[in-house]
Amino acid sequence: MAHWLTDNTIGWSPLVAADQVFLHAAPTGGLVLDENGVSGGAVYTLTQNGVIAGDIAAKFPHLAGIPAWELDAADATNAPELLKGQIAVSAFAGGDLVDATGLQIPGVLDDLYAYVAYGEQLGPVWIGGTPALKLWSPTAKSVTLHIFDDANPATTSITQTMVLNPDSGIWSLVGPPNWKNKYYLYEVEVYVHSTGEVEHN
């Protein structure tokens, strides 16, 4: 398994030493692996820059010393969007596919969002008599808030679209005072790696 650790750094030790490594991204899924490699999405070339060391190794000591693969600086600015879809890496040696795998992403999520989101109070927050709802979900494509008058499963909700703060990964919405004592659910549109599809959870 490869590990996306910062916006531009992926730690991965392919099964065979590779001379070419690529990141693949598909916003709604559909990546396909065959003997020629991974197809079905956008392709980004990764460049080896030594091994995982320094501050990154201090944070992820179990990955220290494995190859560090870097995204071009311009491509790294797209990391927040790439993380909202299906992602994978592939490795080639002498033109032949030698390995391919998915990526673990907690490291890059922390790198992109944790500092800005730290200290934010999530869930329902009351400011005087006015409620605000906040949800940290940086990989979501959209979040819809459902408000219910009661807990009866047959009750129809009213819906509101929540707004993303791209710096923190937090979706939020300020509601009217009469939301007090009502019930709510979040509907999160997100790519789910276990199903390979964009789902509404």
Q: Do 121 and 133 meet the contact criterion of CB atoms below 8 Å apart? A: no
**Six-digit token string for 118:** 């730290």
Q: Do 145 and 159 meet the contact criterion of CB atoms below 8 Å apart? A: yes
**Six-digit token string for 151:** 């807990």
Q: How many helices (H) and strands (E) does the chain have?
A: 5, 18
The confidence score (pLDDT) of residue 17 equals: 95
The confidence score (pLDDT) of residue 114 equals: 84
User: What residues have CB less than 8 Å from 164, skipping those under 6 apart?
Assistant: 140, 143, 170, 171
The confidence score (pLDDT) of residue 116 equals: 75
The confidence score (pLDDT) of residue 119 equals: 81
**Six-digit token string for 5:** 């650790």
The confidence score (pLDDT) of residue 106 equals: 96
CA separation for the pair 16, 44 (Å, rounded): 20
Which residues share a beta bridge with 165?
A: 170
**Which residue, among 114, 131, 140, has the nearest Cα to 176 in the 3D structure?**
131
Q: Where are the beta strands (DSSP E) in 27-95?
A: 32-34, 37-39, 42-51, 67-71, 86-93
The rounded average pLDDT for each run of 10 residues, N- to C-terminus, in the chain (201 residues) is: 97 97 97 96 97 97 98 97 98 97 96 83 92 96 98 96 96 96 97 95 96
Which residues share a beta bridge with 34?
A: 37
CA separation for the pair 62, 183 (Å, rounded): 43
Q: Do 48 and 21 meet the contact criterion of CB atoms below 8 Å apart? A: yes
